Chains A and B, each alone.
Chain A
Amino acid sequence: MAKTKGNTHLSVATLIKSPTGIMGLDEVTGGGLPKGRPTLIAGAAGCGKTVFAMEFLVNGATKFNEPGVFVSFEEPVEDLVKNFASLGYDLNQLSRSKKMIIDYVHIERSEIEVTGEYDLEGLFVRLGHMVDSVGAKRIALDTIESLFSALPNEGILRAEIRRLFLWLKSKGLTAIITGEKGDGMITRHGLEEYVSDCVIFLDHLLFEQVATRRLRIIKYRGSPHGTNEYPFLIDTTGISVLPVTSLELVHKATSERISTGIPRLDTMFEGKGYYRGSSILISGTAGTGKSSIAAKFAESACQRGERCLYLAFEESESQIIRNMRSIGINLEPWVKKGLLKFHASRPTFCGLEMHLVQIHNLVSSFNPSVVIFDPVTTMISIGTENTVKSMLTRLLDYLKMKKLVTTLFTNLSHHEDLEKTAMAISSLMDTWILLRDIEIGGERNRGLYVLKARGIGHSNQIREFLLTKEGIDMRDVYLGQDKVLTGSARLAQEAADKAEALIRRQETEQKQRELEHKRRAIESRIKLLRSQYKSEEEELRLSIQQAKLNEDVISSATREMAKSRKADVIKPAKGKE
């Protein structure tokens, strides 16, 4: 982690800084170089001192309205103009428009003889004249050390150089002094002795045949600054410095969600898809469809009218477009519309830092809202795990902090360590989707599941992931009877299930019919019994009536007979006999 000393706000108030306009450097220095003071840029030959100095001046002239004077002690003006034309700087134009003066100060040792005392007033006069003629606020001396080889009498020279720096300060010039790296010293001639405000050291590091330029702020009086070695790059857009890690972790998080491009995958994330500005890792074994998910995501971004940057490290643009067309994703129109931009390069083409800077530059110029790395695994071929991880950390910091870019990485993994990413980058990722092949019944099918999704309730189900001519589709896998089946096995199982279900249904229907039948039979029997009962009942009732009638008739006949016989009526005894 970069170290911060003191309170940033305080130092800003006390020390005015002159922005360099060099990408990244102003962040590392907290605003630029000390204004009105000299800064020493030291480093070995070819490490970029001149470019650094020149970019400071050109940016001053073009971006900050601070004209400058470039004093070259080593290269003639014409050479400088030619060299910097390749960086896109038109130095002649800047000179003509009086924003900059380039001067070549040169002494040919062989044509010089020194007799007696001298001073460098001539140089002062020259500088003063140039500074006044353009109203310069910035000046670069590249490199004043060559005077040591051109002029004898070091004592005088040192005194004069000290006087020169004081003079620069008194003029209020923000100066860059370059100096060649010395043995055991920052510069060969000890210029650091005179420049005490800010010293920046440039270096060239070679690691496994890949060169990385590095920059370190050795000292910056009165200002907090990053003390790390920061990789920097010189490419066609000039110098870019990359902080190894950001000083703080302060991404703004949004709760906005964006579609994955695959409706069924969206539903696995609460039906809404990924978070905007999050980082997504798609890992899987070879041929599991990582790129397809990436391409679908790219397509959906373009459909929303957003820009997408596709960084391809294994396939060329046309190859990707062709392959994606075969699964129904047509990316070509988006490329033509300028919403989709491919950047295909071999990872080994340049060092990690170069890639990082290229990506930075692409992102800042194209301004995408989605960036895809396909695949991120190949990066490891040019760096160690640690360096790749640190690069990705920095990149993600940048993308998340500055741009709220959603990044999608694909990652090729192997069977043994499927759930371990090659670079242990999974901890950097917010969402991790795993694709794996499931081998059942002599075929391999793709299974997809969400390993993690920070802040999103996600499905824990495995889905079968299908790549068809019509596009990407996802199916529920066959779950049941303690089995997970995919592909034809799933289809076969589903058919078998269907047949079984049919039989079961038929059986049920049959039973129901039987039941109905039985019920009807019983009911009809009940009816019959009832009618039988009814007729019997009638008969019995008639016979009872008959019997009663008979009884009456008999008893009245008996009474009549008794009357006629004058028979005494035998009264029933009433308890006295």
Chain B
Amino acid sequence: MGTENKKKKAGGKTKGLRPTAKAHGTAEAKSSKEFWELRLYVAGQTPKSLTAFANLKKLCDEHLEGKFRIEVIDLLKNPQLARGDQILAIPTLVRKLPEPIKKIIGDLSNTERVLVGLDLRRAD
């Protein structure tokens, strides 16, 4: 499908995961077997898209080391893919796994909100 697949590492099981979460004391009670499949929808290499990707990568590296995969989908190249995930806004990050599906709209500049959105941290 020509999707720009940027596998951002699919490392093995890592111990000592999510130190930040633990430090906050509101850590997700997810089992260490969980794998995070994320999709980032963009429309061309716009500044917003680039910012979003950079923000996402940083965040995942910090919180989901070795347990995630990011797929970047450029709708300008594959417009038909917008339908499946009901994409309207750009950029949109979709958490395909673990379920339920979550969507985060925007350039992901607010890390706290992204963490809440991804259920990595509960909103207080």
Contacts and interface: CB of A to CB of B under 8 A. Distances in A.
Given A125-B76, A126-B87, A129-B80, A118 B101 contact: no
Contacts of B89: 118-123, 151
A116 B50 CA distance: 13
Given A105-B86, A113-B102, 9 more contacts: A113-B116, A114-B106, A115-B108, A115-B113, A116-B52, A117-B107, A119-B48, A125-B79, A126-B83
Contacts of B90: 118-122, 125
B83 A112 contact: no
Contacts of A111: 100-103
Nearest to A129: B79
A147 B104 contact: no
25 contacts: A113-B102, A113-B113, A114-B105, A115-B104, A115-B107, A115-B109, A115-B117, A116-B106, A116-B107, A116-B108, A116-B109, A117-B48, A117-B106, A118-B89, A118-B107, A119-B48, A119-B89, A121-B75, A122-B41, A122-B75, A122-B92, A125-B79, A126-B79, A126-B88, A128-B79
A112 B106 contact: no
Contacts of A119: 48, 89-90
A560 B76 CA distance: 185
Given A125-B43, A125-B79, A151-B105, A113 B88 contact: no
Contacts of A112: 103-105
A561 interface: no
Contacts of A151: 88-89, 105
B110 interface: yes
Given A107-B88, A113-B114, A126 B106 contact: no
B83 A103 contact: yes
Contacts of A126: 75, 79, 82-83, 87-88
A505 interface: no
Interface of A: 103, 105-107, 111-126, 128-129, 147, 151
Interface centre among A120, A122, A128 (most CB of B within 10 A): A122
B54 to A, nearest CB: 12
Interface centre among A114, A121, A126 (most CB of B within 10 A): A121
A114 B104 contact: yes
Contacts, number: 98
Interface of B: 41, 43, 46, 48, 51-52, 75-76, 79-80, 82-83, 86-92, 100-110, 113-114, 116-117
Contacts of A106: 86
Q: Which 10 A-B pairs have the closest CB atoms?
A: A113-B117, A129-B79, A116-B106, A116-B109, A116-B107, A121-B90, A122-B87, A115-B110, A121-B43, A115-B113
A111 B79 CA distance: 22
Given A113-B113, A125-B76, A105 B102 contact: no
Contact of B88 (A115, A117, A122): A122
Nearest to A150: B88
B53 to A, nearest CB: 13
Contacts of B114: 113, 115
A23 B58 CA distance: 60
Contacts of A125: 43, 75-76, 79, 82, 90
Contacts of A114: 104-106, 113
A91 B54 CA distance: 43
Contact of A118 (B83, B91, B116): B91
A118 B82 contact: no
B117 A105 contact: no
A499 B17 CA distance: 130
Contacts of B80: 129
A321 to B, nearest CB: 58
B95 to A, nearest CB: 9
Contacts of B107: 115-118
B79 A120 contact: no
A118 B106 contact: yes
Contacts of A122: 41, 43, 75, 82, 87-90, 92
A126 B87 CA distance: 8
Contacts of B87: 122, 126
Given A105-B88, A118-B48, A122-B92, A113 B82 contact: no
B123 to A, nearest CB: 9
A120 B102 contact: no
A147 B100 CA distance: 22
A40 to B, nearest CB: 20
A118 B91 CA distance: 6
B89 to A, nearest CB: 4
B46 to A, nearest CB: 8
A115 B103 contact: no
Nearest to B110: A115
Contacts of B43: 121-122, 124-125
